[in-house]
Chain A
Amino acid sequence: MKLNIQYIIIILSVIFFSCENDKHIRVYKIKKQMPQEKEERKITSKTNSEFEWVAPKEWKEVQGHSMRIVSFEVPSATGLGDLSITSFSGASGGIQANVNRWENQIGLSPSSLEKINKISESRVSKLGKYEVFELVNLENQNSAIIASIFKLKETTLFVKLSINVAGLKTSRNQFINFCDSIGFIK
């Protein structure tokens, strides 16, 4: 059989281009993190609300204000912190108004929305996406707040931990894990 250059080019082209993988779309699933499965020291806590969560064993559930869904005493080496979960209908003033209110509580001047967006951290919990805000007054080591805002369909859920600056550093990861674990009661 007599081959000429055109045939060779065609054959080589077919070989080369058939190697191109045009499946550039991948789909995979990753199991949502369930802290209670991994760490025995944590316990699941529920109240009469529609939410459930996994709280660290060291945290003590206490009677709080009637507006609160739940309150915890958060121990740290430098004192106790106060954690609360509250839920309000609608946007409840929005992110800026609430962060400014917390800033005022620890003696900070109110920040613009742009600055708030810069300092916020987006995370995903069983309820969906939420924002974490860490507010520290460097002039007053006794005042710090770490809080999360969950914008739900009809309500806004607030998780707030008031603690001293040193306590915030040691309790931060527990707070984040706690917020990640909040979900609707199945």
Chain B
Amino acid sequence: MLKILYNFISSPKIFVYTVLWLMILVFFGTLAQKDIGLYASQMKYFSSYIFLFYDYIPLPGGRITLLLMTLNLSSSLFRKTLWKIKKIGVIILHIGGLLLLLGGGVTAIFSSEGNMVIEEGGKVNYTDDYHRMELCFVNLSLQDSLEYTVFDEELLVEGNTISYDKIGLEIDIISRIKNTRIQNRITEADSVYKGFLKQFVLLPKEPEKENTQNRPSLIFRIRGSENNADGIYGLFLGQKDLDIFNFKNEKYFSEFRKERTYLPFSIELLDFKKVLHPGTQVAKSFSSEINLIENQIPRRVLIQMNEPLRHMGYTFFQASFIEELKSESTVLAVVKNYGRLFPYISSIIMSAGLLVHLIINLPKMIKKNNVTKA
């Protein structure tokens, strides 16, 4: 049984079919970007294990295909017929390919990307994820600090109940809306609705193609506060008027925001500059003069288009800017990619493998060519 399984997994045919399937995925994934946007297309075709084609037909997604390819390549390395000196080039090539796939896996699992918005004169030490959200409760009652209790994206699923004993809370996720329309209540709200939801309702509207243009919201019920804070609350991204509750004589407010990652250093925006194309309002180039502050020691750096700052595994690209009446803010795209070097290393290894294979087989090829000519 094991042998049959091994022969199946290590078959070169599997590699050929998975490569073909990846080409089909790339084709349909690229076309789908027009209708569902870049992020949704990426999630559906490449970051999924299985996806529904036309909402009915389940097909293998990018992840399962690449996983199968990795298993195929690694198991083929155990084939006895491969381990011969004349096949050293092929072995090197296989190892290079495996390393490339491994790097892809590392990037998919561990890498993060987001953005950092800094107002001129302001200092920021965190990044906001582009897509992942989090619900946080902030305890305001501590003397010299704010205590954040953060519930990750994975818990914020409709119908899920989050029990958090530390503050004695039970949170039922009632609704998670991808893109929200906020509307005034026409009639008086039931007493179960608290805070913002007393006056407004959160309604779903057609999501935008680009996920970053949506305004997500969350409706949840709080139980176990042992006072009149129990009830249904609503939060949306970018909400200004945050509701304050009392739990066990401590004051909290809650916030539904982009997932925040704190950095071991902070960045202060000293000056933001933009150059416009003459006679237009279209930006030609923009740059941010910043202070990179680590252990309270500032270092002046200039980040501009195509000249990112790389520091402690993070890369900060000049991505955009926000111009307001009173101030300017820079938007830096922040990427932490643990698998950044894998493609370079594996490409070198694969090139070396091909070269070795060519050199080993060259005499044979010349000989064959001479025989054919004769």
Contacts and interface: CB of A to CB of B under 8 A. Distances in A.
B154 A169 contact: no
Interface string A110-140: 0000100100111010001101000000000
A31 B125 CA distance: 13
Contact of B244 (A25, A34, A117, A128): A128
B149 A27 contact: yes
Contacts of B241: 117, 120, 122, 131
A90 to B, nearest CB: 17
B145 interface: yes
B150 interface: yes
Contact of B150 (A25, A114, A169): A25
Contacts of A173: 121
A151 to B, nearest CB: 9
Interface in B128-159: 138, 140, 142, 144-155
A28 B261 CA distance: 12
A122 B138 CA distance: 14
A66 to B, nearest CB: 32
Given A122-B240, A129-B140, A129-B253, A27 B145 contact: no
A5 interface: yes
Contacts of A24: 151-155
B184 A29 contact: no
A28 B166 CA distance: 13
B1 interface: yes
Contacts of A128: 140, 244, 251
Nearest to B2: A3
Contact size range, A: 20 to 34
A124 B145 CA distance: 12
A138 to B, nearest CB: 11
Contact of B147 (A3, A4, A29, A34): A29
Nearest to A19: B109
B81 to A, nearest CB: 24
Interface string A79-119: 00000000000000000000000000000000000100100
Given A25-B149, A25-B164, A29-B147, A172 B326 contact: yes
Nearest to A136: B325
Contacts of A3: 2
Nearest to B156: A24
B147 A27 contact: yes
A114 B75 CA distance: 65
Given A121-B240, A128-B140, A129-B253, A27 B2 contact: no
B366 interface: no
B50 interface: no
B202 to A, nearest CB: 15
Nearest to A129: B244
A19 B162 CA distance: 21
A108 to B, nearest CB: 17
Given A4-B1, A114-B184, A173-B121, A32 B152 contact: no
Contacts of B142: 29
Contact of B166 (A27, A29, A34, A131): A27
Contacts of B152: 24-26
B5 A5 contact: yes
Contact of A25 (B1, B144, B155): B155
Contacts of B184: 114
A128 B162 CA distance: 26
Given A128-B251, A129-B140, A29 B149 contact: no
A15 interface: no
Given A5-B5, A24-B155, A129-B253, A32 B144 contact: yes
A30 interface: yes
A4 B326 CA distance: 70
Contacts of A117: 240-241
Most buried by A among B1, B5, B242: B1
A29 B326 contact: no
A122 B242 contact: yes
Contacts of A25: 149-152, 155, 162, 164
B1 A5 contact: yes
Contacts of A8: 2, 5
B295 to A, nearest CB: 15
B148 A30 contact: yes
Contacts of A121: 240
A30 B184 CA distance: 35
23 contacts: A3-B2, A4-B1, A5-B5, A24-B152, A25-B150, A25-B155, A25-B162, A26-B148, A26-B149, A26-B152, A27-B148, A27-B149, A28-B148, A30-B146, A32-B145, A34-B144, A120-B241, A121-B240, A122-B242, A124-B253, A128-B251, A129-B253, A131-B241
Shortest 10 CB-CB distances between A and B: which pairs? A24-B152, A29-B145, A26-B150, A122-B240, A24-B154, A24-B155, A29-B147, A31-B145, A27-B149, A30-B146
Given A8-B5, A124-B140, A124-B253, 8 more contacts: A24-B151, A24-B152, A25-B150, A26-B149, A120-B240, A122-B240, A124-B138, A129-B242
